[in-house]
Chains A and B, each alone.
Chain A
C-alpha cells in the first residue's frame, strides 16, 4: 500500500484538482459534465479486473465477475452517453464562436 502520508497528499491534491476543474462551469454543461465524470470513475474497471484476475475461490470469481461486468458497463455506457450529449454542442459551439467574433 502507498505509505500513509503520501496517500493523504495524493488524496488532497486530487481533491483540489477536482474542485478547480468544476469551479466555473456554465450551467449548460452540468449534465454532460456529470455524465463525463461518471465515465471517469469507470476506471474502477481496472481494479475489478485485477480482483477477478487474482480470484481463487468460486465465490471470489463470481463477485469478481459481477464487479468487472458492472465496471465495464459504467465505463462503456458512460462514454457512449457523454459522447452523444456532447455531440449536440457541435452546432452550438460554432454559433457561439460566430457571435463572439
Chain B
C-alpha cells in the first residue's frame, strides 16, 4: 500500500474509534446498557491502536512494543488483582498515567526544533501543564487513598505558596511560548514546576474529598489529551479527550453537589482540619455486644442498614448480607440506605453490595429513604461515619455543615459497628455516637457481622 492509502486507513480507524467511544460512554451512562458500553469503547481503542502501527514513517517499533507490553502486563495484573474496595485509587493511578503520557507528548513536541505556529506551542504548553498537574496530583491522591499518607498536609501560607508555584509555572510556559528563551533547562524547569504544583495542590485536600478531586483530574487529563491531540493533528485524541474533559467536568460537579460542597470549597478550603471543629459533645459512647444487638434487630419490624467505608475495608458485604437474609427470613423488613458518597466514591457502595448479591429493590438512596428512618426500629450503621453525623444538620461550626446526611439518628435505635473510637475520615467527631439511643458495637465489620449471624442462628 502506498503512504497515502495507509494514512487514509489510519484516519478512518480514528473516526471509527471516536464514534465507538461516544457510543460506549453513552451506553455506560445507563444501568441497562452499562456493561456493553465498555466493550464498545474497548473495540474503539483496539482499532485505533492497531491502525496507528500503520502510520507512515514510524520507527522504534521494538521500543514501542516493549513499552506497551510492559505496561499491559503490569496494568492487567494490578487491575485484575485489586480488591473492589481499592478501585478508587486504581482509577486515580491509571488516570495519572494518562496525564503523564499527555505531558510526555508535550515534552517531546517542545524539545523538537523547528518553527511552529503560536497556536501549536501554546496548546503543547497548555496540555503539558494540565497533564503534568494531573499526573502528580493523581499520584498523591492514590497515595492518600492507599493509606500511605493519612493526614492532609497543611502549613501556614500554603495557598500563597501554591499560587506562587502556579504563577511560576505559567510564567515558564509563557517564556516557552514567546520563544524568548528556550533550551532543555527551561523545559525541565517548566515541567518540574507543573509537577510540583500538582503535588502542592493535592496535599492539603482531605481524604473525604478525594473522589471529587480524582474526578477533576480525570477531566483535566481528558483536556490535556485533547490539547496534545490538536498539536499532533490527531482527531481521535481531540474528540475523545474533549468528550472526557466535558463529561468529567460535569461528573465532578455532580459529585460536588452530592456532597453539597462547591468545587472551589473542595479545592481551596482546609476541610476537616481541626477535628474539634464541631464543638463539644455531651454524653458518652455506650457499647453493646453482638448478641444483644442481634436480638434488637431480630425482634424489630424494620431495619435500615447504612453501609460505609468501614464495610468496604473489612470486606464485610457478603457476611452482612447473609445476616440480613436471616433477618428477612424472620420477617424483618430490611433496607439499605446509600449515601451519595458512601465509601470513597459515588456509587462505590452500590458496586460492593451488588457484588455481594444484594438485590437492587432493597437499596435506596438518600432522598428515597430519609423519611423512613423515624419508622425504623433499628438503624444499623456499618462503618459509616461522616455521612450519618447529625452535626451536618445542626452545627454551623462543623466543617461538614450543610452536607446532606442520612438521618440515622432519627431511628428508634441505632447500632453502630465501628472499629474503634476514632473520628471519621474527615476527622470530625460524630454526635450520633453519643446519642442516648445509640449503641456502639466495636470490632472489625466482618467479624462483627459473623458474630451477629451466629447470635441470630442461636435464637
* Chain A residues close to B by CB (< 8 Å): 1-2, 4, 7, 10-11, 14-19, 21-55, 57, 59-61, 63-93, 95-97, 99
Chain A residue with minimal CB distance to B131? Answer: A44
Whether the pair B38, A73 counts as a contact (CB closer than 8 A) is no
Whether the pair B98, A91 counts as a contact (CB closer than 8 A) is no
Find chain A residues with CB under 8 A from B346 CB: 27, 30-31
Q: Can you list 17 A-B pairs with a CB-CB distance of less than 8 A? A: A18-B250, A24-B29, A27-B347, A30-B251, A31-B346, A34-B345, A36-B28, A38-B95, A40-B45, A43-B21, A43-B241, A48-B105, A54-B58, A65-B63, A68-B71, A77-B97, A95-B361
CB distance from A10 to the nearest CB of B (A): 6
Excluding A10-B239, A29-B31, A53-B55, 15 further A-B contacts by CB distance (< 8 Å) are A4-B119, A32-B347, A33-B247, A34-B215, A36-B38, A41-B244, A44-B101, A44-B241, A49-B64, A50-B52, A54-B57, A63-B104, A63-B111, A86-B38, A95-B360
> Scoring B residues 26 to 65 as 1 if CB is less than 8 Å from chain A, else 0, what string do you get?
1011111011011001100100110011010111110110
* Chain B residues close to A by CB (< 8 Å): 14, 17, 21-22, 24-26, 28-32, 34-35, 37-38, 41-42, 45, 48-49, 52-53, 55, 57-61, 63-64, 66-68, 70-72, 74-76, 78-80, 82, 84, 87-88, 90-91, 93-95, 97-98, 100-102, 104-105, 107-109, 111-112, 117, 119-120, 184, 214-215, 218, 221-222, 225-226, 228-251, 254-255, 258, 340, 345-348, 350-351, 354-355, 357, 359-361, 365
Q: Which of B57, B70, B120, B357 is in CB contact (< 8 Å) with A91?
A: B357
Find chain B residues with CB under 8 A from A47 CB: 101-102, 105, 225, 228-229, 232, 234, 237
Find chain B residues with CB under 8 A from A90 CB: 35
Find chain A residues with CB under 8 A from B90 CB: 77, 81
Whether the pair A33, B38 counts as a contact (CB closer than 8 A) is no
* Main secondary structure on A side of the interface with B: helix
Whether the pair A74, B351 counts as a contact (CB closer than 8 A) is no
Find chain A residues with CB under 8 A from B250 CB: 18-19, 22-23
Whether the pair B361, A60 counts as a contact (CB closer than 8 A) is no
The verdict on A40 contacting B243 (CB below 8 Å), with A18-B250, A72-B72 known, is yes
CB distance from A23 to the nearest CB of B (A): 8
Chain A residue with minimal CB distance to B234? Answer: A47
Q: Which of A32, A45, A54 is in CB contact (< 8 Å) with B34?
A: A32
Whether the pair A73, B360 counts as a contact (CB closer than 8 A) is no
Whether the pair A77, B35 counts as a contact (CB closer than 8 A) is no
Find chain B residues with CB under 8 A from A29 CB: 28-31, 34, 347
Whether the pair B75, A77 counts as a contact (CB closer than 8 A) is yes
Give Cα A76–Cα B120 distance, bound, in whole angstroms.
29
Whether the pair B22, A17 counts as a contact (CB closer than 8 A) is yes
CB distance from B384 to the nearest CB of A (A): 16
Whether the pair B100, A86 counts as a contact (CB closer than 8 A) is no
Central interface residue in A19, A37, A67, A87, by most chain B CB within 10 Å = A37
Whether the pair B100, A70 counts as a contact (CB closer than 8 A) is yes
Give Cα A1–Cα B116 distance, bound, in whole angstroms.
10
CB distance from B291 to the nearest CB of A (A): 32
CB distance from A16 to the nearest CB of B (A): 7
Central interface residue in B14, B38, B215, B359, by most chain A CB within 10 Å = B38
CB distance from A22 to the nearest CB of B (A): 4
Q: Which of A16, A28, A69, A77 is in CB contact (< 8 Å) with B31?
A: A28
